[in-house]
């Protein structure tokens, strides 16, 4: 599951993520991080579901972070799509591929929501959610 963590000014310098990793022993992956002087946002991938995922979320919340579950990143409008493939190779995490029939297959769980495919699509069939 992908989680978006929002840091406030108070908890900006604290090693919250390291603490959660050492407590839960989960190999949490940072997908994207934006830190400014006042606030910070981090997109992480937590390889857990159910109770374990709830535990991770509550640890972040206890540390003062706002936690949002990211279930959807982009949407492909199949009516507009011309199956050209222009979005495929620019994707840095191979979340969009073409199958043997050249149909576009999207792996939501791999997507990090970078949006590069949105610009790459010549017919504007992809939008960020």
Partner 1 sequence: MSEERGTEKLRTYDEINQKIKRGDAVVLTADEFIKTVEESGLEKAAKEVDVVTTGTFGAMCSSGAFINFGHADPPIKMFKCWLNDVPAYKGLAAVDCYIGATALSETEGFEYGGGHVIEDLVSGKEIKLRAEAYGTDCYPRRSIETTLTINDLNQAVLLNPRNAYERYNAATNGTDKILYTYMGTLLPHYGNITYSGAGQLSPLYKDKDFETIGIGTRIFLGGGVGYIVGEGTQHNPQNQLGTIMVRGDLKQMNSHYLRGATYYKYGTTLYVGLGIPIPIINERVAASAALKDDEILTNILDYGVPSRNRPTVKKTSYTELKSGKVEINQREVQSSSLSSNKVAKEIAVTLKNWIIEGIFLLNRPAELISNYREFKPLEVKRKEPRVRDIMTREIIIGKPNDDIKDVARILIAKSVDHLPIVDNEGKLMGIITSWDLAKAVAQDKRQLHEIMTLKVITAKEDEAIDTVVRRMEQHNISGVPVIDQSNYIIGILTTDDISRKLVRRATA
Positions that interact with partner 1 (CB under 8 A): 82-92, 94, 97-98, 101-103, 116, 119-120, 122-124
For residue 84, give the DSSP letter. Answer: -
Beta carbon of residue 78, minimum distance to partner 1 (angstroms, whole number): 12
Question: Minimal distance in Å, beta carbon 41 to partner 1?
Answer: 22
Closer to partner 1 at the Cβ: 3 or 87?
87
Cβ proximity to partner 1, 56 vs 96, nearer residue? 96
Query: Tokens at residue 125, please?
Result: 């069939």
In whole angstroms, how close is the CB of 120 to partner 1 at the nearest point?
4
Contacts 24+ apart (CB under 8 A), 83-92: 84/122, 84/123, 86/120, 86/121, 86/122, 87/117, 87/120, 87/121, 87/126, 90/116, 90/117, 90/120, 91/116, 91/117, 92/116
Q: Which is nearer to partner 1, 65 or 121 (CB)?
A: 121
Smallest distance from the beta carbon of 13 to partner 1, in angstroms? 19
């Amino acid at each position: 599951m992908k989680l978006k963590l929002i840091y406030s000014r108070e908890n900006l310098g604290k090693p919250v993520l390291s603490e959660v990793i050492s407590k839960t022993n989960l190999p949490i992956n940072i997908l994207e991080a934006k830190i400014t002087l006042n606030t910070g946002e981090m997109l992480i991938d937590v390889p857990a579901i159910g109770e374990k995922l709830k535990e991770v979320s509550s640890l972040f919340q206890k540390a003062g972070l706002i936690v949002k579950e990211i279930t959807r990143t982009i949407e492909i409008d199949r009516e507009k799509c011309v199956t050209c493939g222009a979005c495929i190779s620019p994707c840095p995490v191979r979340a969009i591929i073409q199958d043997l029939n050249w149909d576009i297959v999207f792996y939501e769980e791999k997507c990090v929501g970078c949006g590069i495919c949105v610009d790459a699509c010549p017919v504007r069939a992809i939008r960020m959610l």
